[in-house]
Amino acid sequence: MYQIKESIIVEGVYDKIKLSRFIDGIIFPTNGFRVFTDADILKTIKLLADKTGIVIFTDSDSAGFKIRNYIKQSLPENKVKHAYIPDVKGKERRKTMTGKEGLLGVEGMGEDVILNALRQAGCSINGTETMPRMLHKITKSDLYAAGLSGDVNSATYRRELAKCMGIPSKISANMLLDCLNRMLNYDEFVQLVQSIKAGL
């Protein structure tokens, strides 16, 4: 079992069941969109944020991002970490049909993908903090200079970058920067963007 210091906020009970198989820690489900209407759910998340800090670990579809953004806007930035799963087409075994966007959710990911996402979020695992790699912090200006914004091909470059990094393609510019600064140093970022452009 992996001990996680931060409370993990997931969308549903099946996500909680999946993570509970190999994670020792608080795993709290929002019960999907109920977080928008049930004040007690948000109140509990705020209490967890104060006591342990939280990591938001929702699906990479539109619904997951709505829940993530709602929670994020309700809490101080320094108490929230973000873990992301990649865009993977498919359906969970228990379901008869794929979701609206055809993507696997947290419950459909492997243990290694989940643990990697928690490490990249900067969670404390088995007492060891995993910290962002910010030697030269990547900024919005760097995104612009690299052609990831303000260029006719920017959207294509960002999609490819997200795919290479194993994060959702729908990610906002601010969350993309957070992921970049946690997962890559500046030189690695420049090299990755150059290889993406060369491969297109």
* Token code pair at residue 126: 């088995």
Instruction: Enter the tokens of residue 156.
Output: 């294509």
Question: 93 with 44: CB under 8 angstroms?
Answer: no
The pLDDT of residue 23: 96
Instruction: Provide the mean pLDDT of the chain.
Output: 90
Looking at residue 153, its amino acid is N
pLDDT for 174 equals: 82
Instruction: Please tell me the predicted confidence (pLDDT) of residue 132.
Output: 53
Q: What is the mean pLDDT of residues 98-127?
A: 89
- Please name the helix (run of DSSP H) or strand (run of DSSP E) that holds residue 125, with its range, or none: strand 124-125
Q: Do 82 and 121 meet the contact criterion of CB atoms below 8 Å apart?
A: yes
Q: What is the DSSP letter of 81?
A: E
Residues contacting 177, CB < 8 A, separation 6+: 138, 139, 140, 143
CB 194 within 8 A of CB 157: no
What pLDDT shows up at residue 130?
A: 67
pLDDT (0 to 100) of residue 38: 96
pTM for the model: 0.78
When mean pLDDT is compared across 31-35, 110-114, 166-170, the lowest value belongs to: 166-170
Ordered DSSP codes for 16-54: HHHHHTTEES-EEE--TTHHHH-HHHHHHHHHHHHHT-E
User: Which domains are present in the chain?
Assistant: 2-129 (3.40.1360.10), 140-199 (no CATH)
Least confident of 25-29, 143-147, 169-173, 191-195: 169-173
- What is the tens place of the pLDDT at every residue in 80-100? 999 999 988 887 887 777 777
pLDDT tens for 126-159 read 988 766 555 578 999 999 999 998 889 888 999 9
- Mean pLDDT calculated for residue range 109-127: 92
DSSP assigned state of 61: S
The pLDDT tens digits of the residues spanning 4-45 come to 999 999 999 999 999 999 999 999 999 999 999 999 999 999
